[in-house]
Amino acid sequence: MCGIVGYIGFREAWPIVIKGLKRLEYRGYDSAGVAIINNNGFNVYKKAGKVSTLEDFASDKDRSGSIAIGHTRWATHGAPSDVNSHPHSSNDNRLHIIHNGIIENYSTLKEELISRGHEFKSATDTEVLIHLVEEIQKIEQIDLMEAVRLALNSVIGAYAIVIIDRENPGQLIAARKGSPLVIGVGSGEYFIASDATPIVEYTKNVIYLKDNEIALIKPNELLIRRLDNVIQTPLIQELELKLEAIEKGGFDHFMLKEIYEQPRSVKDCMRGRINLKDGKIELGGIKEYADKLKNIERIIIVACGTSWHAGLTGEYLIEEYARIPVEVEYASEFRYRNPIINEKDVIIAISQSGETADTMAAIEIAKEKGATIFGICNVVGASIPRITHAGVYTHAGPEIGVASTKAFTAQVTVLTLMALYIAQQKGTLPVSKLTSLLTELNSIPDKIQTVLATDYLIKNIAAKVKDAKNCLFLGRGSGFPVALEGALKLKEISYIHAEGYPAAEMKHGPIALIDEKMPVVFIATKNSSYEKVISNIQEVKARKGIVIAIVTQGDTEVKKMADYCIEIPDADEVFLPLLATIPLQLLAYHIAVMRGCNVDQPRNLAKSVTVE
C-alpha cells in the first residue's frame, strides 16, 4: 500500500524520484523519504507528511546523485512519524531499504537480532528486515544479493523492496512477493516503481517482477534470480499507458477528472466486445472456457470495497439472464472460512489494481479446491491476471483518485458483458432480447454524458446538505448496490457517516435515525420496484427527513414528494447502476470539496490494499 520509486543511471535522481513519489502518493501519504548516493557520500531525507513536506525539508540540502530510492508510506507498523518513515537503515547504517508490505514474523526476528546486539530506532517491521540482511551478510561473508535472497527465505509475509548499499553505490537490489514492483528499462539506466505511473515519462519498456524474484540492477546490467537461486530471463513488455492519462488535464482533482472520463472508459470497456450486427458478445479473455460456462452450477464473486459492490450488481445480472446461482463474498472473510467449492464452480475475482491481498488469497484457496478462476482487473501485468485461469480487463485507464469511480462503472460494464455472454452460451436469452440489450448497452456512454450535464444541479444540492452528520442511501433490486456505493463514496471522501440499505429494510432499524437534519438519498427510477420505493419516500417525509431522489427523466410523482431530484435518462433496469451511480459520485465529490476535505487523498485510505 506504499509507493516505491528507485532510479539508477546517468541522470540526476532526485527530480525523478520526487516526481515519481508524487504520482504514487495515492498509494500512501502519511510520510515520505529518499536515500541518495553521490560522490560526497550518502544522504537520507525523510519526513512525516506529504511529499511536498519532504521537498521543503530538503530544499537547502545536498540532493545531487544519480542513484536514489524513495518511498511514500501508509502506516501499518508504527504511527506516522519522521522516525518510522522509510528508508530504514541497517544497524551499521550501510544499507537502506524501502518496503511495501508486511513482514508477519518480524517480532520473532527482532528478538533474535536484539539478542545479537542490534538496536532499533523505529517501530516498523521494515527495519527488522534490513537488519536481518545485514546480519546474514556479515555472518556468511556473502554479497548483498545473496544475503537478501537468504533473508527473504526466512521471512513470512508480503513485500516489494529496494535496497541501496553505501559501500557498493553502483547497484540496487529489488525483490517482490505479493506486492507489485515494475522495472523500467532505459539505455544505461533503470527505473523501479510500485506501478508504471512514475516510469512512463522516461521509457515504455518495462519488466513486471514476479513473485519470489530478486533483481540486481546496475546502470548497464540486470540480473534476476528466483529465491531458489535459479536465474530468470526477464520478459520486457511495452507500456500502453500514456503520460496525459496520469495528469489532471485541467480538472481540480483526479477524482473529478475520472468521473468525467466515464463515457469514454465505459465505451473502451465495450470496444471490440459487442457485435451489434450479429447480436453477439465476444470476450476473448474467457473464450476458451465457453463450453465450461454452459455447465457451471454456481458462480462465486470475491472482492473488496467498491469491487464488492460491483460484484453485487453482477449477482443480479447473472442470475437474471444466465440463470446461474451467484454468491458474492468479501474476500477478506472468504479466505478465513472453509468454503465449500468444487470443480464445477467458477470464481470471479474483481480488483481494480489486481494486487488486493485478500482477493489474491481467496483466489489461491479456490484454485486449491479445483475451481475455475476468472479475473476482472484494470491493470495490465498485475498479479491477479497472472494467477487466474482467464479473465477480462476493464480498460478504464489509470485511476489516481483513491475513491474509485470509473473503475466501478468499468467493472459493472464487464460484469454486464459477462452475464450476457454466459446467457448467450447457455441459450437462456432469445436472440432478439440479447440484441435489444446490447443495443441499449451500446448507448450507455452517451446517457452517462447526459447525466454529467446535471453537475451544476448536483453541486447546488451538495451545498444544501454538506453540513449533515449522517446520511442514508436506499435502493431496491439493482439500486441496492448503487446505494451501498453512494454511501461508501460519501463517507470515504467527506467523512460524513453514511450507510446504504435495501429500501425495504429502512423500517427494520434505520428509520429510527430519521429527523429533519437527516438527508436520505433514494434510487427511485421507474422500474419494477418504483411503487414500493415511493412508499418508502413517504415514510421518510412523514418523519421530516430530507429526500434526495435519483429519478427517471420526466418523472412527476417523486418530484411532488422529494426535496431534491436528480434526473437520469430512461434505461432498462439492468443498466441502472451505470447511470444512477454517476450523480452519487458527483454529490460526494462536491460535498467533500465544500467541507475542505482532500478529495484525492482521503485520510487513512490508500488506493491499492496490498496488505491484510
For 216-245, what is the mean pLDDT?
Answer: 88
Are 485 and 362 part of one and the same domain? no
Are 460 and 561 part of one and the same domain? yes
For residue 396, the SS3 value is: coil
Most confidently modeled range among 15-19, 555-559, 600-604: 15-19
Residue 525: which pLDDT band, with cuts at 50, 70 and 90? very high
* Structural domain includes residue 610: no
**How far apart are the C-alpha atoms of 409 and 578, rounded to whole Å?**
6
**How far apart are the C-alpha atoms of 49 and 14, rounded to whole Å?**
18
Which position has the higher pLDDT, 100 or 80?
Answer: 100
Give the number of other Cβ atoms within 10 Å of residue 597's Cβ: 18
Q: In what order do the strands lie in the sheet with 564-568?
A: 497-502, 470-475, 519-523, 546-552, 564-568
* Structural domain includes residue 611: no
Q: Of 448, 470, 497, which one is at a domain's C-terminal end?
A: 448
User: Which pLDDT belongs to residue 408?
Assistant: 96
Which position has the higher pLDDT, 163 or 513?
Answer: 163
Are 15 and 107 part of one and the same domain? yes
Q: Of 189, 212, 245, which one is at a domain's C-terminal end?
A: 245
Which domain covers residue 504, as residue numbers? 454-600
Q: Which amino acid is at 240?
A: E
* Structural domain includes residue 101: yes
Are 190 and 309 part of one and the same domain? no
User: Which residues, 6 or more positions from 244, have their beta carbon under 8 angstroms from its beta carbon?
Assistant: none
Instruction: Determine which of 71-85, 223-237, 240-254, 550-564 has the lowest per-residue pLDDT on average.
Output: 240-254
Are 143 and 25 part of one and the same domain? yes
| CA-only gyration radius of the chain, Å | 25
For residue 440, the SS3 value is: helix
Residues 520, 471 contacting (CB under 8 angstroms): yes
Q: Which of 22, 177, 257, 607 is catalytic?
A: 607
Q: Where are the alpha helices (DSSP H) in 36-185?
A: 51-58, 106-115, 125-140, 144-152
* Structural domain includes residue 217: yes
Are 403 and 469 part of one and the same domain? no
Q: Is the pLDDT of residue 334 over 80?
A: yes
User: Which pLDDT belongs to residue 487?
Assistant: 96
Query: What CATH code is carried by the domain that includes residue 353?
Result: 3.40.50.10490
**How far apart are the C-alpha atoms of 279 and 439, rounded to whole Å?**
8
Burial bucket for residue 604 (CB in 10 Å: 0-12, 13-18, 19+): exposed
- Beta bridge partners of residue 184, listed in sequence order: 191, 206
- Beta bridge partners of residue 67, listed in sequence order: 8, 37
- Tens of pLDDT, residue by residue over 274-288, are 988 888 899 988 988
Q: Of 245, 277, 307, which one is at a domain's C-terminal end?
A: 245
Cis status of the peptide bond prior to 87, with omega within 30 of 0: yes
Which position has the higher pLDDT, 543 or 337?
Answer: 543
Are 425 and 561 part of one and the same domain? no
Residues 235, 207 contacting (CB under 8 angstroms): yes
* Structural domain includes residue 166: yes
Are 133 and 269 part of one and the same domain? no
Instruction: Say which residue the cell 441459450 belongs to.
Output: 427
For residue 356, the SS3 value is: coil
For 448-457, what is the mean pLDDT?
Answer: 96
Are 180 and 193 part of one and the same domain? yes
User: Which pLDDT belongs to residue 277?
Assistant: 85
Query: What b/e sequence results for 31-57 when a residue is b if at least 16 CB atoms lie within 10 Å of its CB, and e otherwise?
Result: bbbbbbbbeeebbbbbbbbbbeebbeb
Q: Is the pLDDT of residue 244 over 70?
A: no
Are 396 and 460 part of one and the same domain? no
Where in 194-276 does DSSP place strands (E)? 205-208, 213-218, 221-226, 231-232, 237-238, 274-275
- Tens of pLDDT, residue by residue over 290-311, are 888 888 889 999 999 999 999 9
Average pLDDT score over the chain: 91
Cell of 405: 469511480
User: Helix and strand tally (H, E) in the chain?
Assistant: 18, 27
Strands 3-8 vs 67-73: parallel, antiparallel or unpaired: antiparallel
304 is catalytic: no
H/E stretch holding 393 reads strand 390-393
User: Which pLDDT belongs to residue 166?
Assistant: 92
Residue 597: which pLDDT band, with cuts at 50, 70 and 90? very high
Cell of 115: 539478542
Give the number of other Cβ atoms within 10 Å of residue 108's Cβ: 11
**How far apart are the C-alpha atoms of 394 and 453, rounded to whole Å?**
25
Say what percent of the chain tops pLDDT 70: 97
Are 231 and 325 part of one and the same domain? no
Per the rule left: phi > 0, alpha: psi between -120 and 50, beta: everything else, 305 is left
Q: Is the pLDDT of residue 488 over 70?
A: yes
**How far apart are the C-alpha atoms of 23 and 10, rounded to whole Å?**
22
- Tens of pLDDT, residue by residue over 92-124, are 999 999 999 888 898 999 999 999 999 999 989
User: Which pLDDT belongs to residue 242?
Assistant: 67
Q: Is the pLDDT of residue 336 over 60?
A: yes
Are 280 and 354 part of one and the same domain? yes
Per the rule left: phi > 0, alpha: psi between -120 and 50, beta: everything else, 397 is left
User: Which pLDDT belongs to residue 8?
Assistant: 97
Q: Is the pLDDT of residue 90 over 90?
A: yes
CA 553 to chain centre: 33
Instruction: Say which residue the cell 524520484 belongs to.
Output: 17
Residue 606: which pLDDT band, with cuts at 50, 70 and 90? low
Give the number of other Cβ atoms within 10 Å of residue 267's Cβ: 16
- Beta bridge partners of residue 540, listed in sequence order: none
Tell which residue, 489, 482, 448, has the closest CA to residue 590.
Answer: 489
Q: Is the pLDDT of residue 168 over 60?
A: yes
Overall number of domains in the chain: 3
**How far apart are the C-alpha atoms of 434 and 424, rounded to whole Å?**
8
The DSSP line for 266-316 is HHHHHTTTEETTTTEE--GGGGGGHHHHTT--EEEEEE-HHHHHHHHHHHH
- Tens of pLDDT, residue by residue over 129-150, are 999 999 999 999 999 999 999 9
607 is catalytic: yes
* Structural domain includes residue 607: no
Cell of 147: 544475503
For 329-346, what is the mean pLDDT?
Answer: 87
User: Which residues, 6 or more positions from 379, have their beta carbon under 8 angstroms from its beta carbon?
Assistant: 195, 352, 353, 354, 355, 385
For 342-357, what is the mean pLDDT?
Answer: 88
* Structural domain includes residue 120: yes
The DSSP line for 465-511 is HTT-SEEEEEE-TTHHHHHHHHHHHHHHHH--EEEEEEGGGGGGTGG
What phi and psi, each to the nearest 5 degrees, are found at residue 237? -115, 155
User: Which residues, 6 or more positions from 400, have their beta carbon under 8 angstroms from its beta carbon?
Assistant: 23, 26, 197, 246, 254, 258, 600, 607
Query: What CATH code is carried by the domain that includes residue 236?
Result: 3.60.20.10
Q: Which of 2, 269, 471, 565 is catalytic?
A: 2
Rounded to 5°, angle at Cα 253 from 522 and 582: 25
Residues 429, 420 contacting (CB under 8 angstroms): yes
User: Which pLDDT belongs to residue 607?
Assistant: 57
Instruction: Determine which of 94-98, 102-106, 455-459, 506-510 has the lowest per-residue pLDDT on average.
Output: 506-510
* Structural domain includes residue 606: no
Cell of 285: 479473455
**How far apart are the C-alpha atoms of 612 and 605, rounded to whole Å?**
13
Residue 243: which pLDDT band, with cuts at 50, 70 and 90? low
Residue 609: which pLDDT band, with cuts at 50, 70 and 90? low
Cell of 523: 434510487
Instruction: Say which residue the cell 512514475 belongs to.
Output: 198
- Tens of pLDDT, residue by residue over 379-394, are 877 888 888 999 999 9
Q: Is the pLDDT of residue 495 over 90?
A: yes
What phi and psi, each to the nearest 5 degrees, are found at residue 12? -70, 125
User: Which pLDDT belongs to residue 608?
Assistant: 56
